[in-house]
Amino acid sequence: MSDHKEAYYEPLVYIVPVRDEGILLKTVLRSRMHISRKLLTRLKMFEQGITLNGERKYIDIMVHEGDRVEVRMQEEISEDILPEDMELDIIYEDAHLLIVNKPAGIIVHPTHGHYTGTLANGVVQYWRMKGEQVRFRPVHRLDQETSGVLAIAKTPYVHQCISEQMQKEGITKEYIAIVHGRVEPSSGTIDAPIDRDKERTRIRVVAEDGYSAITHFWVEAAY
C-alpha cells in the first residue's frame, strides 16, 4: 500500500524507559503496550502501523532508553451498515470510545430482516455527520427490549482492551428488572455457561460447552 492512501487514528505512543533498555521491540508491543497477536499482524501490513523514532522497523530489533514507539491503526468504516438519522442519548465520547444509552425496543446491530432502524445505523450516521471515519464496534450487546449503557470502541485496540477486561471480570455490568411474582430466594448466584441455541441462533441457552456466565442477583424491593 502507498502511504498517501492510508489514513490513521491518533497513534498510541510509548517512550522506552531505562528498565526496558535492550529488550526487543516486539516485547514492548506485546508486554508493555498490550497489543494482541491478531492486531499486531494487522499493524505490520501498514507503512506507518508500527514505527520506532518515526521509522518503520522490524519488530525483532532492540530498543533503547528514550526511543519513541508509535502504533497507528488504519481508519475504517462500516461499509455494510446504512447511515440513518436517529436521536442518540450519548453519555460520553472521546477519540477512543463512545458510550450510548440504548432505549428499549432498539436492536444494536443489523441482522437478517433488520437492516435499518438499529442503533448501529444511527451511530454510523452520527460519525458521518461529524466527518469521522470509524467502524461500529460494540464491545458487548444488549437485547432488543433491554435498555441501558452500551460501550462502542472506536479502534480495534480499544475493543481488544475492554474485551480482555470483561473476560478477566475487570468490568461489572448491573441490570434492574421488574419481575412478576415473588423471587425466592431473595438473593443468590447463577453460575451456568451459555451459548447460542443451535436452532434459534438469536436465542441464548444454558449449554455445557458454553461460555462462562456468572450472575449475582438480589431483590431490591418487593411490592
The residues annotated with a catalytic role in the active site are 143
Residue type, 217: F
In this structure, what C-alpha cell is assigned to residue 176?
A: 434492574
Q: Kindly provide the residue ranges of all beta strands, DSSP E only, lying in 5-147, ordered along the sequence.
A: 12-15, 50-52, 55-56, 68-71, 90-93, 97-102, 137-138
At 101, give phi and psi (nearest 5°).
Answer: -90, 105
Q: Is cis: bond before 83, omega within 30 of 0?
A: no
SS3 breakdown of the chain: % helix, strand, coil, rounded to 5?
Answer: 20, 25, 55
Residue 116's nearest CA partner among 125, 129, 127, 103 is 125
Residue type, 161: C
